[in-house]
Structures are given as C-alpha cells and as structure tokens.
Amino acid sequence: MPTKTLASTPVEVNDEGFFVDANQWTKEMAPEIAAEIGVPTPLTDRHWTVIDLMRSEYFDKGTGPTVRKISKLSDVSTKELFVLFPKGPAKLAALVAGIPKPKGCI
C-alpha cells in the first residue's frame, strides 16, 4: 500500500487515496486533504458536521453513509452537500474524514 504524509505523519492509503486504517487520521489532516482534492477551505462547521457523521457511521456500521443517509441523519441538505463537497459528496467527505471508500461509491 502507498504511504502519504499528512500533517507531518505518514499514513497508509489505497490506490484511490482512501485511508487503509481510519485510526491513523487526525483532525489536523482534514484541511490538508480537503485542499488537495478540491473541497472548499477553510473547513466550516457544516463541513465538520458531515466529517464527524462520516466517521461516526463508519465506526458504528463499518462503512460511510450515502449522500441520502447523510442528509437524513444531519440537517445538511443534499444540495448543500454538493456545495460543501463538490463532485461527489459521499466520496469526498470520506476522503476528508479519513475513512475507507463507502460501499456504493463509484
């Protein structure tokens, strides 16, 4: 597996850039990942609502939630998700949250 350095810490990622071990992620890494993949920065409280939900769902259920589930579980609408995480909210949010690619993401 490839290794990437984020916030001065080496982490294992797969070929698509998703963390292999979500426990290696820190909040300090999120802005760096976001800027690298085209997510608007600085990260806002709305971004963090989604990031925290992604991590919580991953650790509870073993995969990140879909866009529909994110909207249902939070007060972030689908439209807003596409503003916060353009070009694929569930996939980009998972990358920023340091979790593996959610099931169902292309």
**66/88 Cα distance (integer angstroms):** 10
Q: Residue ranges of the alpha helices (H) in the chain?
A: 30-37, 45-61, 67-73, 78-84, 89-97
Neighbours of 66 (CB within 10 A): 16
Choosing from 17, 41, 105, 106, which is the catalytic residue?
105
Which residue's structure tokens are 């760096």?
A: 32
Residue 105 annotated to the active site: yes
The DSSP symbol for 13 reads B
Which residues are tagged catalytic? 105
